[in-house]
Amino acid sequence: MSEQQTHEKSIIQKLDLDGYIEQFKYFLAREKSVAMMGDINQHYRYLQALSLVQFPQPKEVPNLDRELNYIKKQAVLSLDEIYAFVTMFSYFNTLKAVGFAEPLRSWIHGVEIPDEIVEIIGYFTEEGEINPERDPELYKLERAIKQNKIDIKETLYKLAHSSRLRDYLVDTQIHFNGGEETLLVRGGFNNAIKATVVARSPGGFFYIIPQSISHLKEKESALLSNKEELIYCYCKEISAVFFRWERFLAYINKEYDRFDHYQARVSFARAKEYEFILPTKSKRIKLQDFAHPAIENPVPVTMDMNKQIMLVTGVNAGGKTMLLKSMLSAVYMSKYLLPFKCDASKTEVGHYKSIEAVIDDPQSVKNDISTFAGRMQEFAKLFAKEDAIVGVDEIELGTDSDEAASLFRVMLDELRKKGITFIVTTHHKRLASLMASDDEVELIAALYDEERRVPTYTFLQGSIGKSYAFETAQRYGVPVAIVNKAKEVYGEDKENLNELIERSTTLEREMRLKIAKVDEELKVVEKQKQKLLDEEHTLKESHRKAIATLENRYNAATKKAREALKAKESTEGRRLLNVAHQRKDFKQKEMVKVAEEPLKEGDKVKYRSHKGELISLRGKDATIIVDGLKMRVPLSQLKRRGDTPNVKLKPKARDPKSNVSVERSGASVSVKLLGMYADEAIDTVDKFLSDALVNNLSEVQIIHGTGGGVLSKIVGEYLKKHPKIQKFYRMPGNLGITVVEL
């Protein structure tokens, strides 16, 4: 056994997982280590895929490493050895009929059995014998052997019921002794029959083979010899084929082991209702309702360890050691993708390169080593390790507590720097107090039920627990008078200290319960808030769709009106169409005003007696433009304007069909392109931007409407190429306005 295998076996025993591992190995088709080589993430994906389907259980197959070496040397395998390989071939053929999900399906179907090997599969019966139906000579031999056995039985039956042998027979049955059919007779039988004695019974009787069936026995021996020669020819022929496909046999042997790992884990998980946990890259161990497999009716463990050192204190016989073993067991089982009982949705286990357990008392008379010296040897070995998780049970074992507290404090700090994570149980109040202030130390207290005077086997994070040594002694039968006297010797001051520790633990527990209650109430409030937000979003979306529908109808109507006017030019019709645009624009802004709160960039606002436009927000301040001047004012002093903007229609002289309406605030800050053709719109925008640049405006608006988006697209392409434009963007709310920063 290698050093690693010895270490693995030791860890399994120390963590009380030996019974669990034995139960798991029951599901394996052949004996092997629980470790799987290769990418653990890939293994997990195969396990998940296999868990989704029902699959045939594999037959037991022995380890074939020795047989593979024989094949390399061109040796002739026995029929049983050949059939072991045939069993694997047949199983993979069977698996191809199962409806696996990916990636399992591609892997199984990628295992292609060569035609020569497929032909060999057909040689065998389900019992592992050469099928006599395939070979006339073998078939003839089988029938002859069978008939000869019938003849032997009939002859022996007649002798057992003959009158001359009746007085010497113990019974009339045919007994098998050493594979031979015999009769059981008393002494003196040679007076009645000639026979060969095969063996003697405990009662002093004789097992005999009568000479009258000797020729039948000789015939049977000859037939069996002929059959063995024929079988040997088959073995020699098949072994030669195996030699040609030696690499494939090694491959199929390895793949069979791999699938055996998967199917055993899935079958074990199904039988026990266990869960698989894929190790994470973090060094966190978060267990939810974990149950150690060695405990019957366990109290589920729920624990969150996200620090490098976990220090467990508290009541004697309160489950500290089992908590330590549970944490390490979860790491071990997840490391090898072995399933266990937990709430998988809330469980997280980190990956560690190695697992160490400093649990047993290392004292040895044979090696002349003390408990403390043995512990120091185990700790000394840890300085050569990295990325390990170490469990230390009763760290103070074997020496003065105050000296040990200082020593272990320093050692734990140094080992932590090497990336080693510790789970430590202790009764050291001094060690706990020394490490309590460290941010990388998680304090855990084992709890005690004062009323029932028993441990609860539950734990509280963030506290130091009392040992309850006197209560435990009394619970296990130590007289009350002895316990009381021990309390007096212990001293009032130390007892008061323990009471303070216990009170602190109780207060902390109550605080955590209250926090948990508040968290639950907060979750309810958050759900209600989310529900209201969802309803608000639904209403806004409904409102937006209604506006879009109305706008589409309006655009369709105006389009038809423009087409009619184009067919028959009318100055009055153009004027009325522009008025319709203005009214539609006004109504749209009024609806946005009602729907959108609070103030945002682009809103028309009123500051004291001045009317202006909000152009930017910064915290509690806002920047507005009034009469062409920018002003920075308190946001709280702004009000949304309820009036309609002043609109002046300015028809272009060169084309009476187009309208350009510009809002004035000193210089022109906006231009409307509604109803314009593309070339007309570009000319208008070009002149408008030139005027804005001359008047040193920093921001202007181009109102092109929504409609089919043609004007918006043309304006956007023009703005991209303009050398003086810093930035432009569509105003929120689907208003059909592009904001341009100069």
Q: Give the pLDDT score at 655.
A: 43
Taking residues 349-378, report their average pLDDT. Answer: 72
Write out pLDDT tens, residues 30-43. Answer: 999 999 988 999 99
Say which residues have a Cβ less than 8 Å from residue 246's Cβ, sequence separation at least 6: 68, 71, 72
Residue predicted with more confidence, 445 or 468 = 445
Reported confidence tier of residue 242, pLDDT bands at 50, 70, 90: very high
Q: Which DSSP letter does residue 438 get?
A: -
Q: What is the pTM of this model?
A: 0.60
699-703, strands of its sheet edge to edge: 648-651, 659-665, 667-672, 699-703, 737-741, 727-730
Reported confidence tier of residue 666, pLDDT bands at 50, 70, 90: very low
The letter for the amino acid at 595 is: A
pLDDT at residue 638 above 70?
A: yes
Strand ranges (E), 350-453 = 354-358, 388-392, 421-425, 441-449
Write out pLDDT tens, residues 290-301. Answer: 999 988 888 888
pLDDT at residue 403 above 90?
A: no
The letter for the amino acid at 94 is: T
Write out pLDDT tens, residues 711-728. Answer: 888 888 888 888 878 788
According to DSSP, the residues that pair with 605 across neighbouring strands are 612, 640
Dihedral sign, CA of 454, 458, 463, 469? positive
Query: Quick one: how far is CA 576 from the chain centroid?
Result: 69
pLDDT at residue 468 above 60?
A: no
What separation, in Å, do the N-terminal and C-terminal C-alpha atoms of the chain show?
Answer: 81
Write out pLDDT tens, residues 593-603. Answer: 444 567 888 88
Burial of 573 per CB tally in 10 Å (0-12, 13-18, 19+): middle
CA distance 634 to 632: 7
CATH number of 645-741: 3.30.1370.110
Domains of the chain, by residue range, sit at 3-114+245-272, 153-223, 285-490, 645-741
pLDDT at residue 376 above 80?
A: no
Q: Which DSSP letter does residue 282 get?
A: S
Which of the following CATH numbers is that of domain 285-490: 3.40.50.1950, 3.40.50.300, 3.30.390.50, 2.30.42.10?
3.40.50.300
611, 629 contact by CB (below 8 A)? no
Q: Give the pLDDT score at 506.
A: 56
Taking residues 395-413, report their average pLDDT. Answer: 73
Write out pLDDT tens, residues 469-502. Answer: 555 565 566 676 776 666 666 565 555 555 555 5
Taking residues 6-29, report their average pLDDT. Answer: 91
CA atoms in the 13 A half-sphere facing the CB of 477? 0
Residue predicted with more confidence, 640 or 262 = 262
Q: State which of 25-29, 173-177, 632-636 shows the largest mean pLDDT.
A: 25-29
DSSP string of 121-140?
A: HTTB-TTSSB-GGG-HHHHH
Reported confidence tier of residue 271, pLDDT bands at 50, 70, 90: very high
User: What stretch of H or E contains 108?
Assistant: helix 104-110
Taking residues 545-570, report their average pLDDT. Answer: 71
